[in-house]
Amino acid sequence: MHPEEAAGQASRISMHGHWSSRMAFILAVTGSAVGLGNIWKFPYVAGQNGGGAFVLVYLFCVFMIGMPVMMSEILIGRRGRRNPIATMALLGEEEGHSRHWQWVGAMAVVAGMLILSYYSVVAGWTLAYVQKSMSGVFAGASAAEVSAVFSDFTGSWVQTGVAHTIFMASTIFVVARGVERGLEQAVRFMVPGLLLLMLVLLGYAINSGSFGRGLAFMFSPNFAALTWDGVLVAMGQAFFTLSLGMGAVMAYGAYLPEETSITSTSAAVVLADTTIAVLAGLVIFPLVFANGLNPSEGPGLVFDTLPLAFGQMPGGVFFATIFFVLLSFAAWTSALGVMEPAVAWLVEHANRTRIQAAAMVGGVTWLIGWGTVLSFNVLREFTFFKGTIYNNIDYVTTNVMLPLGGMFVTVFATWVMCRNSSADELAAPARLQIVALSRPLCSTGGDRIHISACGWRFGIMAAPASNAGLASCSNA
């Protein structure tokens, strides 16, 4: 262990800069969490999996698994202050285990790039819908006309490919410029703006949609409609929507100031993210039922329902345009987080400038994205395992790689890191802070903090007056 590292994380600073305040960090993580996952993906997977029971499992996973994983990622990131791969290697060694924990970080980076590949394509659809809304094609359009717009558009690989390219280029541009500039400001107006517009839409859905049916679809659980695969999808969606299991939150945690409370920060982010997803469902399902649409139609659901609502409400062209602008922003702040771990790794280990690193990561991801672009047109019939190329990339990353990564991260924060190290991160700075605190289930006599879902138990812990006594590990 290097002497500098033995001194503990107090002396560690990130080479990429730090967030200017706690609020800045909350905004950045919220910006990464709130995105297409909430408004595009949540309603469509809930619809495909029968609603009610799925939503219940999803909410359970968000709060009981997602939140502890988020806390783990932030605390590991902040302690290591490097990119996820290097952080896992460094802490693995420092805590008396192995550098091989870096492979968890590596899997996260790969998952992130695969997710970004299709995320950018759907974000491209959103961008195109800004232009379509502005042109007024949706004004007074019928359900059939609105869905024809969607299928004509996604049926064209040229149009969707161009949109994908524009979105990826703008992401590369911002990531190349660095973590702090711009991002804070973008999120500051985007999340409240999105929330406000969702409320406007909710008003419309209550008045003009089949609100009762929508509500029942989302909240009255019909467990017969839920399959085991549906449970897996609900868990995957919880990871996806909170940006967990792929190093994005860990990478942001590396820039988090020392004294910020990890627990309350995570709670704020989880709450904001869940609110927006539930609102999206409450808007979309009443419209689906009122217009005789199919809740399980898949990735086109949002693009078929919301423009229909906008087309019928007063000031619809204006609201629709603003909505898709905000959604594009939301997608974009999420994409930045997905790209960060790989870029940080190239900068730290391959001696690349940020600009080169962003261009390399973005370029490779852009290429992979063509698999998704073509899944909706030329290669629509080319299916295997779970469906099209898009379906497979999504299934493997969201439902397998993210939960697996999240599980390793939690095991790391709870069983590999000694309790002192984790407690050190979790306790600062509140005097009395609620932390989930318990012994490991299969303790070998070690004294390690336990914040995973199984055995999740609240304890109240007084923060030490000074962290000095906690810096060394008693059982490493």
Distances in Å between the Cα of 471 and the Cα atoms of 79, 98, 122, 392, 427 are 11, 20, 45, 44, 12
- Pairing mode, strands 458-462 and 432-436: antiparallel
- The answer to the question of residue 77 lying near ligand PHE (CB under 6 A) is no
Query: CA angle at residue 243 from 241 to 249, to 5 degrees?
Result: 150
444 CB neighbour count, 10 Å cutoff: 8
Question: Which residue in the set 240, 319, 370, 415 belongs to the binding site for ligand PHE (CB under 6 A)?
Answer: 240
- The answer to the question of residue 255 lying near ligand PHE (CB under 6 A) is no
- The answer to the question of residue 70 lying near ligand PHE (CB under 6 A) is no
- The answer to the question of residue 261 lying near ligand PHE (CB under 6 A) is no
Question: Which residue in the set 8, 37, 295, 311 belongs to the binding site for ligand PHE (CB under 6 A)?
Answer: 37
Task: In angstroms, give the least distance from the CB of 101 to ligand PHE.
Answer: 20
- The answer to the question of residue 361 lying near ligand PHE (CB under 6 A) is no
- The answer to the question of residue 233 lying near ligand PHE (CB under 6 A) is no
- The answer to the question of residue 32 lying near ligand PHE (CB under 6 A) is yes
Comparing CB distances to ligand PHE, the nearer of 286 and 406 is 406
By CB under 6 A, how many residues form the interface with ligand PHE? 15
Which token pair is 27? 């905004």
Binding mask 339-358 for ligand PHE (x = CB under 6 A): --------------------
- The answer to the question of residue 397 lying near ligand PHE (CB under 6 A) is no
Question: Which residue in the set 69, 115, 141, 344 belongs to the binding site for ligand PHE (CB under 6 A)?
Answer: 115
Comparing CB distances to ligand PHE, the nearer of 209 and 300 is 300
Comparing CB distances to ligand PHE, the nearer of 114 and 262 is 114
- The answer to the question of residue 243 lying near ligand PHE (CB under 6 A) is yes
Comparing CB distances to ligand PHE, the nearer of 51 and 406 is 406
Q: Which stretch binds ligand PHE (CB under 6 A): 6-14, 196-204, 214-222, 331-339?
A: 331-339
- The answer to the question of residue 179 lying near ligand PHE (CB under 6 A) is no
- The answer to the question of residue 274 lying near ligand PHE (CB under 6 A) is no
Which residue number is nearest to ligand PHE in terms of Cβ? 37
Contact between 334 and 157 under an 8 Å Cβ cutoff? The reply is no
- The answer to the question of residue 35 lying near ligand PHE (CB under 6 A) is yes
Distances in Å between the Cα of 338 and the Cα atoms of 8, 125, 188 are 28, 19, 19
Comparing CB distances to ligand PHE, the nearer of 172 and 435 is 172
Q: How far apart are CA 293 and CA 283, in angstroms?
A: 14
Comparing CB distances to ligand PHE, the nearer of 148 and 268 is 268
Question: Which residue in the set 38, 48, 102, 372 belongs to the binding site for ligand PHE (CB under 6 A)?
Answer: 38
- The answer to the question of residue 137 lying near ligand PHE (CB under 6 A) is no
Where b means 16+ CB within 10 Å and e means fewer, 201-233 reads: bbebbeeebbbeebbebbeebeeeebeeebbbb
Query: What residues between 407 and 446 interact with ligand PHE by CB under 6 A?
Result: none
Task: In angstroms, give the least distance from the CB of 44 to ligand PHE.
Answer: 12
Task: In angstroms, give the least distance from the CB of 348 to ligand PHE.
Answer: 20
Q: How far apart are CA 390 and CA 427, in angstroms?
A: 42
- The answer to the question of residue 338 lying near ligand PHE (CB under 6 A) is yes
Question: Which residue in the set 337, 371, 405, 406 belongs to the binding site for ligand PHE (CB under 6 A)?
Answer: 337
**Rounded-to-10 torsion of CA 116, 369, 238, 296:** 150
- Binding-site ranges for ligand PHE (CB under 6 A): 32-33, 35-38, 115, 240-241, 243, 246, 248, 334, 337-338
